[in-house]
């Protein structure tokens, strides 16, 4: 089924796109709307990144029935992400619930095993289910299926749906959709996994550590490109800052800034290195070599 009405409501940014790109983006939009209209009473788990916000935006506008947005507030979620969601909710009229998923009460999560995300997502989806009895949806996209994502197991166990995956849409397609709908503040937003992903496997998850990571990244972010990948990693040796993309040429300045920031916080600074997905994971001989998530 093709939802023709969605083609009549692109943002003004679509006018500047090449006709072929615009047609392709319109098709992505129609495919996604087709999928979300298969479900009634959707509750969207909105983390604050481009994937879940774009899904929430489109679903709110085109779903067959009112949609609930649920955002988990915790020490692992940057305050900036929460503010972004609250701004969208106020502007778009979302029905938003801010919840505590309770992952910090779970000793398995706090122990920070390599499948930490399984325990986090289990808590999140169980919390959403306690509030809503419809279908839970996530912003997981096609590219995520190639990563090590223990949270997907938790989603499968709880019958969480992934509309982007069902529509065959990956990260690039989501950015196209964000531009199409004039979501200019998030269209080029770098991937922003939870702050716990910065902590090396086996180091206990601690709220003070995550607050330090958040503060350090916000401080350093002011001195690098807004689209650069930036991670402040907590390792057994000390703090490591990773930069990828356009921020690489600022590595010398970043090293100086990070060293001063760590000194003020009483934390050892190891240095700056190129950004690498999943570098906070510690592999053992009993684990697959493909453990790498987008962290």
- Based on the domain organization, do 167 and 203 belong to the same domain? no
pLDDT in tens, 65-101: 999 999 999 999 999 999 999 999 999 999 999 999 9
Q: Is residue 292 part of a domain?
A: no
- Based on the domain organization, do 120 and 233 belong to the same domain? no
- Based on the domain organization, do 150 and 19 belong to the same domain? yes
- Based on the domain organization, do 116 and 259 belong to the same domain? no
- Based on the domain organization, do 167 and 202 belong to the same domain? no
pLDDT in tens, 235-252: 999 999 999 876 455 678
Is the pLDDT at 5 greater than 60, yes or no? Answer: no
The whole domain housing 243 covers 195-274
Range 48-74 average pLDDT: 97
Q: Is 90 exposed, middle or buried (0-12, 13-18, 19+ CB in 10 A)?
A: exposed
Res 32: pLDDT: 98
Pick the last residue of a domain from 180, 208, 226: 180
Q: What is the CATH number of the domain that holds 43?
A: 3.40.50.620
- Based on the domain organization, do 93 and 215 belong to the same domain? no
Q: Is residue 185 part of a domain?
A: no
Range 167-176 average pLDDT: 97
Q: Are strands 269-274 and 239-244 parallel, antiparallel or unpaired?
A: parallel
Q: Is residue 8 part of a domain?
A: yes
Q: Is residue 138 part of a domain?
A: yes
């Amino acid at each position: 089924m093709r939802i023709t009405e969605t083609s009549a409501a692109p943002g003004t940014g679509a006018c500047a796109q090449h006709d072929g790109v615009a047609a392709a983006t319109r098709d992505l939009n129609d495919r996604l709307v087709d999928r979300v209209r298969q479900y009634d009473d959707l509750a969207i788990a909105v983390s604050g990144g481009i994937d879940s916000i774009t899904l929430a935006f489109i679903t709110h506008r085109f779903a067959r029935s009112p949609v609930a947005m649920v955002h988990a507030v915790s020490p692992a979620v940057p305050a900036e992400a929460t503010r972004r969601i609250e701004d969208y909710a106020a502007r778009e009229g979302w029905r938003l619930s801010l919840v505590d998923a309770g992952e910090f009460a779970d000793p398995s999560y706090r122990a920070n095993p390599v499948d930490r995300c399984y325990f986090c997502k289990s808590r999140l989806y169980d919390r959403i289910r306690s509030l809503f009895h419809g279908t839970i949806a996530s912003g997981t996209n096609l590219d995520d299926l190639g990563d090590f994502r223990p949270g997907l197991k938790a989603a499968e166990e709880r019958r969480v749906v992934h509309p982007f995956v069902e529509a065959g849409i990956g990260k690039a397609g989501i950015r196209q959709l964000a531009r199409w709908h004039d979501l200019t503040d998030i269209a080029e937003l770098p991937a922003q996994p939870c702050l716990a992903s910065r902590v090396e496997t086996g180091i206990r998850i601690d709220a003070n550590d995550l607050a330090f990571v958040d503060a350090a990244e916000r401080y350093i972010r002011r001195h690098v490109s807004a689209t650069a990948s930036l991670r402040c990693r907590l390792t057994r040796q000390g703090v490591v800052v990773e930069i990828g993309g356009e921020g690489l040429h600022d590595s010398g300045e970043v090293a100086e800034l990070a060293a001063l920031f760590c000194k003020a916080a009483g934390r050892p600074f190891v240095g700056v290195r190129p950004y690498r997905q999943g570098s906070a994971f510690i592999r053992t001989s009993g684990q697959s070599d493909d453990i790498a998530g987008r962290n």
